[in-house]
Amino acid sequence: MRFGVAVFPGTWSDRDCAHAVELAGHEPVMLWHKEHDLRGVDCVILPGGFSYGDYLRCGAVARFAPLMESVSAFAARGGLVWGICNGFQILCEAHLLPGALTRNASLQFRCEPSWLRVENTDSPFTSGCAPRDILEIPVSHGEGRYVAGIDVLDMLEASGRVAFRYVNRDGSAVGGESPNGSMRDIAGILNKEGNVLGMMPHPERACEPLLGSADGMRLFQCVAALVGEHGVFSSAGIR
């Protein structure tokens, strides 16, 4: 299948995402921020980086890129959109996902391993995982603290839209002590239809045992398997 990888000026996980897609045996298609054409890809990855420098607010400028108009329309048609790190920030700024990502509670950048508990196994990204599987996937960000109103948080939980939660290596709850201090330890969320995923950790950095973990590869393979089975994914909502 064809994974589109968005390239904004300041994006730096584009090459890593393309590498992961190739490792998974699929074709990466680089999508330039100034263009509208999604070139027939089956899934769009919005990778990590500092799009347009992120000097204003992370993702705040990128949401206005020509490419994002097409990505929003693609998502509305049920196309798979996967925001990683800066991509998650962009999706929140673009209102494709609720909430916001603010400065880490430590006020410092954090690059380290993190452990994620899979909270939803119905999504096209996570259906290859078993409920409560633990994935080791590193984080690398300065502004990854997920915040939202209590009503939004409750709604996300009630509708199964929390995709991943930070946990300790042994699977126990971190109780707020995640790498960024996210509310309810949220590491990744889905949109209502389940075709848009935003996550702060970097699965593309966890696709080879040589690099410490291959757990991220499970997500890439899951997407690919689903698309391979059904053609372009068309969602009918999760649950």
- The crossing angle, in degrees rounded to 10, of helices 14-23 and 215-230 is 70
Nearer to other proteins, 169 or 230 (CB): 169
Within 40-161, strands assigned E span 43-46, 80-84, 100-102, 110-112, 115-118, 134-136, 139-141, 145-147
Nearer to other proteins, 87 or 138 (CB): 138
Counting contacts by CB under 8 A, is residue 88 touching other proteins? no
Nearer to other proteins, 145 or 161 (CB): 145
Counting contacts by CB under 8 A, is residue 160 touching other proteins? no
Counting contacts by CB under 8 A, is residue 78 touching other proteins? no
In contact, 198 and 158? CB cutoff 8 Å: no
Residue 185 and residue 114: Cα distance in Å, rounded?
A: 12
Supply the minimum distance, in Å, between the C-beta of residue 169 and other proteins: 12
What HEC string does 85-115 produce? CHHHHHHHHCCCCCCEEECCCCCCCEEECCE
Strands 145-147, 2-7: pairing is unpaired
Counting contacts by CB under 8 A, is residue 110 touching other proteins? yes
Active site residue 95: no
Contacts of 194 (CB under 8 A, 6+ apart): 122, 123, 124, 161, 235, 237, 238
Counting contacts by CB under 8 A, is residue 203 touching other proteins? no
- Work out which of 28, 83, 138, 144 binds other proteins, going by CB under 8 A: 138
In contact, 184 and 165? CB cutoff 8 Å: yes
The interface mask with other proteins, positions 8-27, x = CB under 8 A, is: -xx-xx-xx--xx-------
Active site residue 85: yes
Catalytic hit among 43, 85, 92, 222: 85
Catalytic hit among 93, 119, 143, 204: 204
Counting contacts by CB under 8 A, is residue 140 touching other proteins? yes
- Work out which of 1, 5, 42, 54 binds other proteins, going by CB under 8 A: 54
Nearer to other proteins, 13 or 70 (CB): 13
Q: Which residues bind other proteins (CB under 8 A)?
A: 9-10, 12-13, 15-16, 19-20, 48-50, 52-55, 108-112, 138, 140, 142, 202, 204-205, 207-208, 210-211
